[in-house]
Amino acid sequence: MEQPRNRVFSGVQPTGNLHLGNYLGAIRNFVPLQQTHECIYCVVDMHAITVWQDPKELASNTREVVAAYIASGIDPSTNVIFNQSKVSAHAELAWILNCVARIGWLNRMTQFKDKAGKDREKASVGLYAYPVLMAADILAYRATHVPVGEDQKQHLELARDTAQKFNNDFDAPDFFPLPEPLIMGPATRVMSLRDGTKKMSKSDPSDLSRITMRDSADDIAKKIRKAQTDPDPLPEAVEGLAGRPGADNLVGIYAALAGLSKADVLARFAGAQFSVFKPALADLAVEKLSPITGEMKRLMADSAYIDGVLAQGADRAHAVADPILGRVKEIIGFI
Ligand code: TYM
């Protein structure tokens, strides 16, 4: 079985409220990889149900992620776009890897601690095992590169450790490649617009905390206008952003949207007040996001097209994953 050298896998959960962090930290970075890698982009509906989802909303949120992928520039004819639950290799391999990964490794996962909160006993078993399913997603394709936001770094380390332990335990050197995280650009961790010390997230109760991929131009401008900052003007250099999380976040967002570095942005806006910088950022955000939002809306109105993309993607995903899972079963002695 040939070892792929340039295979990208990544996933986004269909939990609604896709936001600027998902776009700048992940989806946007998926696009240029199409030129250089074989790309497999998944809608991870099995991860979504680790916390309860309304079944009707889950279906529509699944289509929303597909629409976001395509509207952002991912071509479904050359890349694989599919939903996780359609390809049983994910669940099967996850079980096998549950028997490889160690409880001690999962106990260290900070995302589980955050999401489970104080009442850990009431969290689903699935939420606890989430990182192992994520390892299975990647390893089912023997993917070599995984573009993600910074918050997924620890999960990627667990995927690498799991791959390495499987290779060692079963004397199958190099069977699973150790997947490399690709954490790219100036916005790998977009923060809440209401609190620059907290990650922008789908579940924040405040709508003003995030710009979503469905927001109108007016919503975007309003949220940026209301973003939490401080009274000082923008500094001349990146070091001047230290201790100013709100300012740092907005500069990072501007840089990512404009395709610049934070230093470039500060060279342009050094000494500017937020009363000048915020409108410039709002204009840029509207210019970059509105065409994507519009295209998403158009695609969402054509669910037959989206479902066709998912069906074709699932066939292609099966064709890659099934032989790999077959080989895994042989390696571990299933007959
Ligand atoms: P999800 O849906 O929570 O996030 C999707 C992607 O968006 C990134 N992201 C952010 N990036 C920058 N700033 C933020 N505030 C921000 N919030 C989210 C995430 O890092 C992610 O890249 N566990 C994954 C889904 C997954 C997956 C996989 C990813 C399941 N299996 C296999 C890669 C490979 C997740 O967090 O999804």
Rounded Cα distance, 73 and 269, in Å: 30
pLDDT at 9: 98
pLDDT at 216: 97
Q: Are residues 312 and 215 in the same domain?
A: no
Q: Are residues 254 and 316 in the same domain?
A: no
- Atom 26 in ligand 1: which residue has the minimum CA distance? 11
pLDDT-derived band at 5, boundaries 50, 70, 90: confident
Please report whether residue 2 resides in a domain: no
- Sorted by sequence, the CB contacts under 8 Å of residue 315 that are 6+ apart come out as none
Q: Are residues 102 and 245 in the same domain?
A: no
Please report whether residue 1 resides in a domain: no
* Ligand 1 mean position, distance from CA 151 (Å): 7
Written as six digits, the tokens of 4 are 């792929």
In the block, tokens 């601690």 appear at 113
Please report whether residue 197 resides in a domain: no
Q: Are residues 107 and 229 in the same domain?
A: no
Inter-residue contact 139 to 159 (CB < 8 Å): yes
In the block, tokens 């260290």 appear at 108
Please report whether residue 86 resides in a domain: yes
Exposed e or buried b per residue across 48-61, where buried means at least 16 C-beta atoms within 10 angstroms of its C-beta: bbbbebeeeebbeb
From 219, 277, 218, select the one nearest 252 (Cα to Cα).
Answer: 277
Q: Are residues 129 and 257 in the same domain?
A: no
Structure confidence by residue, pLDDT tens digits, 28-77: 999 999 999 999 999 999 999 999 999 999 999 999 999 999 999 999 99
pLDDT at 75: 98
Q: Are residues 60 and 127 in the same domain?
A: yes
Please report whether residue 89 resides in a domain: yes
Please report whether residue 18 resides in a domain: yes
Please report whether residue 193 resides in a domain: no
- Sorted by sequence, the CB contacts under 8 Å of residue 81 that are 6+ apart come out as 41, 42, 43, 66, 69, 70, 74, 309, 310, 313
Q: Are residues 284 and 314 in the same domain?
A: no
Please report whether residue 11 resides in a domain: yes
Written as six digits, the tokens of 235 are 């500094």
Structure confidence by residue, pLDDT tens digits, 160-200: 999 999 999 999 999 999 999 999 988 999 999 999 999 99
Q: How many residues does the chain have?
A: 335
Inter-residue contact 253 to 20 (CB < 8 Å): yes
Q: Domain of 242: which CATH number? A: 1.10.240.10
Q: Are residues 245 and 121 in the same domain?
A: no
Q: Are residues 214 and 328 in the same domain?
A: no
Written as six digits, the tokens of 261 are 């570095």
Displacement of CA 176 from its chain's centroid (Å): 22
Catalytic residue among 56, 86, 113, 115: 115
- Atom 37 in ligand 1: which residue has the minimum CA distance? 12
Q: Are residues 283 and 242 in the same domain?
A: yes
Q: Are residues 97 and 49 in the same domain?
A: yes
Q: Are residues 247 and 312 in the same domain?
A: no
Burial of 110 (0-12, 13-18, 19+ CB in 10 A): exposed
Mean pLDDT across the chain? 97
pLDDT at 3: 81
Task: Select from 12, 18, 58 the residue to mutate for testing ligand 1; criterion: most ligand atoms less than 8 Å from CB.
Answer: 12
Structure confidence by residue, pLDDT tens digits, 85-112: 999 999 999 999 999 999 999 999 999 9
Q: How many Cβ atoms sit within 10 Å of the Cβ of residue 218? A: 10
Domain count, the chain: 2
Single-letter amino acid, residue 88: S
Q: Domain of 85: which CATH number? A: 3.40.50.620
pTM here is 0.97
Rounded Cα distance, 189 and 26, in Å: 10
Based on the residue annotation, tell me whether 223 is a catalytic residue of this protein: no
**84 lies in which domain range?**
7-188+303-332
List all residues whose CB is within 6 A of at least one atom of ligand 1: 9-13, 21-22, 25-26, 44, 47, 134, 137-138, 146, 148-149, 151-152, 155, 188-190, 199-200
pLDDT-derived band at 2, boundaries 50, 70, 90: confident
Structure confidence by residue, pLDDT tens digits, 263-281: 999 999 999 999 999 999 9
Based on the residue annotation, tell me whether 118 is a catalytic residue of this protein: no
Rounded Cα distance, 292 and 27, in Å: 12
Rounded Cα distance, 142 and 112, in Å: 25
φ and ψ of 287, to 5 deg:
-60, -40
Structure confidence by residue, pLDDT tens digits, 114-166: 999 988 999 999 999 999 999 999 999 999 999 999 999 999 999 999 999 99
Return the ∠ at Cα 41 (arms to 37 and 46), rounded to 5°: 150
Task: Select from 15, 65, 151 the residue to mutate for testing ligand 1; criterion: most ligand atoms less than 8 Å from CB.
Answer: 151
From 132, 280, 261, 267, select the one nearest 220 (Cα to Cα).
Answer: 280
